[in-house]
Chains A and B, each alone.
Chain A
């Protein structure tokens, strides 16, 4: 075996510094995508595409429920970096923007420095709080209408779910645990919807109650979980599925406590 061929590797096309920088950039892109709720395949694909089009020979990554490990390779020289991921809340606008940066870089319209600069300038879109409250209230009211509720029941649902949404936002702002948040929000929604029926606002408390807790559907975790599972990221899929189940369970606990209290006080 010719040992000299092994000990004298070819000169890497990329300097060590540049390789480090690119790996950091790729790690940051992956971290941003994960923090704002992208599915695992999208995170992996986008990061790998960005890394390879900016000059890394191969990018490999391991994704776990709350950390990412990335290795960028150039002529047999590897740089590995790990990033802890903290949940920043769902934000599809950030996911869109990061994907767009990758596509621009792939078409050679941006270089690494420009991608980094644009990434620094990204500001997560926030709709005004009152607007979300009103829209979510309307959404739950139309769920009530789909379930066959009368106009009064829909009105009741609107009030209950808007109050619950405002409560959920203020809990979220104080960084409470999502489980506690979901439990208390479900309690608030069920209580308000139930109490309103005792003032003869609609005759079916169940419809208003069922519709007003629907603002707590963990839609993104559930759908990301299934798409991770069917696309081969089993561990991420299980983690997300379990998280979604926990959220649903917390909401159920809140609902059942409100139900028990209502029966105890003879409200419904």
Chain B
């Protein structure tokens, strides 16, 4: 039950940034709801996989793939290109805190001199940021690489 509450809270907290960033990208108002649904779904899906002890990069990849696949259905139905929905939907999963920690430890490394602990933090957070970002953007491209190989989706 507490898990369900957590997922509901996360879904709401993921839908808001998805819509906010969709408006920043000037997505037409009638498609904002798809961004919100996909954003919430992707985030909850990822955190459910994290509960099953899947590494965060693989969980991100799976969540982004699912977002991409669902978006195929909606883009064919409404005749709109997929990035209109998918890019805003993965924004809540972008590893912002890892990126910020990387910058902070990099600055500390520069200001206080070399330290193995700090270097480890830079590498761990930096690699995590890079891998999660790669997984998210590759996951979105999966339907057009694997299923719709040489033909347009819409």
Contacts and interface: CB of A to CB of B under 8 A. Distances in A.
Contacts of A231: 141, 144-145
Nearest to B22: A92
A100 B137 CA distance: 25
A132 B103 CA distance: 27
Contact of A92 (B25, B107, B141): B25
Contact of A90 (B25, B136, B145): B25
Contacts of B90: 219, 223
A124 interface: yes
Given A91-B26, A131-B23, A219-B91, A255 B83 contact: no
Contact of A220 (B17, B79, B87, B103): B87
B26 A126 contact: yes
A226 B137 contact: yes
Nearest to B64: A223
B108 to A, nearest CB: 10
Nearest to A97: B28
What is the predominant secondary structure among interface residues of chain B facing chain A?
Answer: helix
Interface stretch (A14-22, A195-203, A207-215): A207-215
Given A125-B26, A131-B23, A231-B145, A206 B16 contact: no
Contacts of B17: 139-140, 142-143
Contacts of A247: none
Interface in B76-98: 79-81, 83-84, 86-88, 90-92, 94, 96-97
Contacts of B23: 127, 131-132, 135-136
A96 B20 contact: no
Contacts, number: 143
A210 B96 contact: yes
Interface in A242-268: 248, 252, 255-256, 259-260
B104 A222 contact: no
Interface stretch (A38-46, A55-63, A67-75): A38-46
A209 B28 CA distance: 30
B20 A139 contact: yes
B131 interface: no
B140 A92 contact: no
Interface in A119-145: 124-127, 131-132, 135-136, 138-140, 142-143, 145
A41 to B, nearest CB: 8
Q: In the complex, which of the residues B13, B28, B100, B144 has the most CB atoms of chain A within 10 Å of its own CB atom? A: B100
Interface string B119-154: 000000000000001101110110011000000101
A260 B103 CA distance: 13
Contacts of B31: 96
A32 interface: no
A164 to B, nearest CB: 13
Contacts of B38: none
A210 B97 contact: yes
Contacts of A209: 100
Given A45-B152, A93-B27, A256-B107, A145 B13 contact: yes
A244 to B, nearest CB: 10
A226 B138 contact: yes
B74 interface: no
Sorted nearest first, the 8 A-B pairs with minimum C-beta distance are A139-B20, A226-B137, A210-B100, A139-B17, A135-B20, A142-B13, A214-B96, A91-B26
Interface of B: 10, 12-14, 16-17, 19-28, 31, 79-81, 83-84, 86-88, 90-92, 94, 96-97, 99-101, 103-104, 107, 133-134, 136-138, 140-141, 144-145, 152, 154
